[in-house]
Structure 1
Amino acid sequence: MIVMKFGGTSVGNSERLRHVAKLVGGYLELKPVVVVSAMAGTTDWLLNTARQLAESNPSSGTSADKLIAEFHNRYHQVVDETIDNSDIRSSLRSEIATLLHQLLRLFTGIELLGEVSPRSLDAVAAFGEKLSSTILAAALRDIGYKSEAVSATTLIETDRTFTSAVPQMEQTTFKCREKLIPLVEQGAIPVVTGFIGSTADGITTTLGRGGSDYSASIIGAALDSEEIWIWTDVDGVMSADPRLVSNARSLRRISYAEAGELSYFGAKVIHPLTVMPAVEKNIPLYIKNTMNPEFPGTRIDNPKESAEGVVKAVTSARNLALITVAGGGVLTVPGIAARTFARVHDHNANVLMISHASSGHDLCFVVEKQVAPSVVASLNREFDREIHRKEIDPIGLDDNIVIVAVVGAGMRGTPGVAGRLFSTLGRKNINIIAIAQGSSELNISLITSVSDEKAAVHAIHDEFISLTGLGKSMRYQPAK
């Protein structure tokens, strides 16, 4: 048994839905379980519409009925263009109508209340995957395969952390095996909604944006699947963002740890949490291109030895801000770090990088740009007395930065990597604002200004990857 996940662009229109159905059917002997995202753009539309309705007034001309009618027309067209068999098409229209009626009831409630909670947002967002899974299952039946759409609300049990729920693996494993294995043994292809789950009492939750990859890994681990295939719109994990580096290459094989580092620091091809369930069961992950299915893509597993050079890839993360706590008191006043990160925790802010000079004079860290002003305001209140006494400077904020991350297991124990890295950037007159490297030596992270991002990524890629001849046959080719 294998688990195959398809992203939003892979099922973005009727032509691609038919292509995916044929692709999946071609692997029937491998006993596929399919996990699918919402059609491209759908989740954004759902969430934006919910917020719009919550903020609208009766005289605005916006109504839930009108918006649902427009949405229905889009999906009605997709159904007609995807399904040839009239009986299957008629049944699918009925299923779509039922789903959209449920969505209308949710939108109407939001409109009447004039507010939308995280729980309501999860309930609304789930409809994108429910619609795409229903259509893809019908598309498979239309070309002769047995298939059933399955809502992950009946499979993945989570806690009650709405918009970023945490799966409960023991209960999830039981439910997945109970529901999915009989379907597969009967020769059917289950098409499961990605991104969503439910609490023990049946309330819909989501795993966070991009969480369909995570869903596939959760289900793969629960079923002890042989492999997990993540189908996307690029030829695997790239050595750099092709928009920044024209000669970026697809990587043949990387470790779970390297994949985690790359996803955490900006590589959008895989969700950061995806590798975790796979690691626990030692299940290989493959990143493959729906538009180029013959291409081998990237294998993610636990290789015994590092391959393909000292540095595997360089990536960058944007929309970030650097916050600095500085002054003589950072060293002399007890508990500065603890108080700092307690306030960060109050805002549920994710810290992507920390740098602390050995002199103890300053502590800086990176958070997402949107939450940075509120964190800075909170820290200024926390250290008001120390700032007044000039023990600490007013909290610094720089929102014109990016993190550039250099990743590769081959850096571990290889002398001179950091020196070579900084020399490369120095020759290009690129200023490094802060640096961090963990003891694992898997990642060197540095902060530069936004204006230096492309030059920094390109220079590092040229120095460590392009010149090694890595993957000459794996040059990136945009999907047609």
Structure 2
Amino acid sequence: MKVLKFGGTSVANPENINRVKAIVQNNHTDTIAIVVSAFGGITDLLLNTSHLASNQDLAYKKGLKEIEDRHIDSIRALIPVKAQSTILSKVKSDLNVLETLLEGSFLIGELTPKLSDKIVSYGELLSSFIISEFFKAEGLKADFKDSRQLILTDENYGNATIDVEKTYANCNAYFKNAKNQITVLPGFVSSSGSGNSTTLGRGGSDYTAAIIAAAQKADILEIWTDVSGMFTANPKLVKQAKCVSHISYEEAMELSHFGAKVLYPPTIQPVLNKEIPIVIKNTFKPEDEGTYIAKNNNGNGKTVRGISHVSNISLLSLEGPGMIGVPGISKRFFETLSLENISVVLITQASSEHSICVGISDDDVEKAVQVVNTAFEYEIASNKIKPVLVEKDLAIVALVGDNMKSHQGLSGKMFSTLGRNNVNIRAIAQGASERNISAVITKTDVKKALNSLHEEFFEENIKQLNLFVMGVGNVGSKFLNQIKQQKKYLKEELKLNIRVIGISNSRTMDFDEDGISLKDWETTLANGRKADKEVFFKIVKKLNYRNSVFVDNTASEQVSESYPDYLKNSISVVTCNKIACSSDYDYYRYLKQLAKQYNSPFLFETNVGAGLPIIDTLKHLIASGDKVKKIQAVLSGSLNFVFNNFNDSVTFHDIVKQAQEEGYTEPDPTIDLSGIDVMRKILILARESGNQLDIEQIENDSFLPKESLDTKSNEAFFASLKKNETTFQKMFKEAKDADSKLKYVAQFEDGKARVGLQKIPKGHDFYNLEGSDNIVLFYTERYPNQPLIIKGAGAGADVTASGIFADIIRIGNF
């Protein structure tokens, strides 16, 4: 025998009911019991309508009309016209009784649990009758059986307890004499010994199916729903979640208890005792394998089988010195909650006995606080125990797996993964069986927590980075194109899945929670909303993605001032913007400290030397115990380009203009030519070497005339270059006569830094530096005479973008 249960979505409309019929037809077995829920949404509609009636709100009649229309329309869509009359008559008769019950509730202004059970039972009673008649009309050998005649319970209305012995006897007697292969039964409904309608509580249709399966010792229980089994996590929150093909009863119960909605926890108990397998299948994709639940989970040695969660949890804490060593405190606490039917979903207690902490539903908080404070009124008044403490808006995330107990370090791995993503843990619970490790977290962190844990335990070490990119000009656009080009390689070779979630320029910004397509990001951005850096940050924070990275490709001081906001929320910052790291020393140190405190990398390799690994090399030197004695460098790709191409046959103005047009200079070329850019770079290197220095302490021997330095616009600046061409030609001639080349050099030694134009003679390391290349010479304790040299392209959008890309990869490897 097989028992098949179909949920509300599976029988939501005539189209879906036809799917159910096809599934039933494909089951070739002697006896099939079909347990069905109410049509999708009808149970909620019945509850809402009954509450309107009890509040004497005439709007309940509108709800009743909708209930009637749904069922009548289904009959007309499913049953041939010739066979409709008898069925319509029966259904309308039931609907008339329902109307009478609602009218009674309206007249007395009351809805008792007993009356509520009678009203809500009509959802399953009507759906199962209509479906059984549809099966008959389609030629299936089917009968309808009212579950209230089989399942007997007490009179705990709303969540009745079954009389197992009598129920099993009734089921055996009925199916022993069943005339047809198929029996259709309503789920959820039952009856008391006195004949009153009762219900089996939330998920009761699953429970009905399990009871029948256990009573008949069925070969299998199939639960048909709208998902293809139990998943490693909620697929609505974790898009990478996978179906678990095999799982044990105990694992399924843990996952069901902690939010896996495809199965109601008590369902498992009747079939567990009889070792009857359960299969979770998808009505809409019947070909999918689904999840097979049995005694042996066939987990192939996997430790964590699933990650689940329960939302809307509050923590209640009872604490105080008067609890230590006093027997019975825990008993009184839990008994008080139990007497008020308040369910405890998590318990944790300090070994000092100073406090007890429990997790309960948000809905029960106010009642729980009142009754616990009343129960411990004497101890609270005596200052032996504090009034109960409450933390709301929480959730529980749980790792589940039978094999977890035989593997060390899972708890540490779980908590460190959450910690890396700034998910604060409020409480922890772990049973001795180690089948479940639970952590209470803030409700807003659930999605990030689930995705982080799923990535850690299920995704073959593929790490997802979620980027929020501000600035998509020369550098930013090259950066996005590089990501698009390398996306497949990064995923296959480096196990990094990089998604761009948000982008912004100075005019517009746009976000896509599933990742912006980099094939046409320009169009996407052009059609975005108005740019606003404060709103941009708020959206990044609200999205609350794991492994979030803010990428600043601008030269904006205002944007650099927003870095603390990101770092404090464990959002990494990668920037080519030199302003933050060359601003006041205290701000530089503050950003570095925030990065450590919130475990959010702050990387700025491109601040010095574009894509050259200058800062990274320096960090490794310092980390390995070396000490920097002196730094000599040509750090401006733009100035090097200018002086490598300037001679007595071209004007200084034309060369600078060319450098700007080819992207070697900042948008404001005075930043480069005044030496400010080089000062910032040597300042950053000095600081990264462990020295405290501010930019005002750097000596700048500028080669520009004061007139050029004082200009307020690019037009005025370039006009001043033309005016002072004689000065520039004189500089070139003096260097040429000395058989030297002009290079703008930065130097740091003995705690002092200076920058300026120098005549570099033949044989010097700087003499043959071509194009826009940079070069850095590190003289250290280990390299006292022959310096460590880093040389290469130090300017240009492509190399700067590649440097930013390299920092992103570094974060991915943290």
TM-score (structure 1 length as normaliser): 0.93
CA distance in 1, matches of 2:58, 2:216: 49
Counterpart residue number, 1:457 = 450
Output one character per residue of 1:350-401: Cα deviation in whole Å (capped at 9) or x when no partner.
1100000111111000111111111111111222222222211121111111
CA distance in 1, matches of 2:397, 2:14: 38
**Residue number among 78, 81, 93 corresponding to 2:77 in the alignment:** 81
Q: Residue 165 of structure 1: CA displacement?
A: 0.8
What residue identity is the alignment partner of 1:20?
Answer: V
Q: Residue 451 of structure 1: CA displacement?
A: 1.6
Equivalent residue pairs, number:
462
Say whether the 8 Å CA contact 1:22–1:140 is kept in structure 2: no
Q: Residue 87 of structure 1: CA displacement?
A: 3.2
Q: Residue 11 of structure 1: CA displacement?
A: 0.3
**Residue number among 98, 122, 127 corresponding to 1:103 in the alignment:** 98
Aligned ranges 1:42-53 → 2 under 5 Å:
42-53=42-53
Counterpart residue number, 1:177 = 172
Counterpart residue number, 2:194 = 201
CA distance in 2, matches of 1:4, 1:162: 26
Residue 153 (1) aligns with residue 148 (2): yes
The structure-2 alpha-carbon separation of the partners of 1:468 and 1:272, relative to structure 1 and needing over 3 Å to count, comes to: farther
CA distance in 1, matches of 2:324, 2:297: 42
Instruction: Please state whether the residue corresponding to 2:152 is helix, strand or coil.
Output: coil
The structure-2 alpha-carbon separation of the partners of 1:386 and 1:71, relative to structure 1 and needing over 3 Å to count, comes to: same
**Residue number among 339, 342, 345 corresponding to 1:346 in the alignment:** 339
Structure number, greater radius of gyration: 2
Residue 122 (1) aligns with residue 113 (2): no
Q: Residue 426 of structure 1: CA displacement?
A: 1.6
Q: Residue 192 of structure 1: CA displacement?
A: 0.4
**Residue number among 226, 233, 236 corresponding to 1:243 in the alignment:** 236
Counterpart residue number, 1:279 = 272
Deviates more, 1:71-80 or 1:231-240: 71-80
Counterpart residue number, 1:17 = 17
CA distance in 2, matches of 1:29, 1:426: 52
Residue 315 (1) aligns with residue 311 (2): no
CA distance in 2, matches of 1:141, 1:468: 53
CA distance in 2, matches of 1:387, 1:225: 55
What residue identity is the alignment partner of 1:25?
Answer: Q
CA distance in 2, matches of 1:14, 1:242: 27
What residue identity is the alignment partner of 1:374?
Answer: K
**Residue number among 42, 59, 68 corresponding to 2:64 in the alignment:** 68
Instruction: Please state whether the residue corresponding to 2:270 is helix, strand or coil.
Output: helix
The structure-2 alpha-carbon separation of the partners of 1:63 and 1:444, relative to structure 1 and needing over 3 Å to count, comes to: closer
Q: Residue 335 of structure 1: CA displacement?
A: 2.1
Counterpart residue number, 1:476 = none
Tell me: higher relative CO, structure 1 or 2? Use CA pairs within 8 A at least 6 residues apart: 1
Say whether the 8 Å CA contact 2:45–2:63 is kept in structure 1: no
CA distance in 1, matches of 2:83, 2:405: 56
CA distance in 1, matches of 2:85, 2:331: 61
Say whether the 8 Å CA contact 1:231–1:289 is kept in structure 2: yes
Say whether the 8 Å CA contact 2:256–2:263 is kept in structure 1: yes
What residue identity is the alignment partner of 2:142?
Answer: S
Say whether the 8 Å CA contact 1:227–1:283 is kept in structure 2: yes
What residue identity is the alignment partner of 1:393?
Answer: K
Structure 2: 5+ residue stretches without partners: 463-814
The structure-2 alpha-carbon separation of the partners of 1:148 and 1:306, relative to structure 1 and needing over 3 Å to count, comes to: same
Q: Residue 332 of structure 1: CA displacement?
A: 4.2
Say whether the 8 Å CA contact 2:172–2:215 is kept in structure 1: yes
What residue identity is the alignment partner of 1:74?
Answer: R
Output one character per residue of 1:59-104: Cα deviation in whole Å (capped at 9) or x when no partner.
x54465x643442222211111112x22322221112112111211
Say whether the 8 Å CA contact 1:235–1:287 is kept in structure 2: yes
Counterpart residue number, 1:226 = 219
Say whether the 8 Å CA contact 1:380–1:394 is kept in structure 2: yes
Cα RMSD over matched residues? Answer: 1.6
CA distance in 1, matches of 2:22, 2:171: 25
Deviates more, 1:20-29 or 1:229-238: 20-29
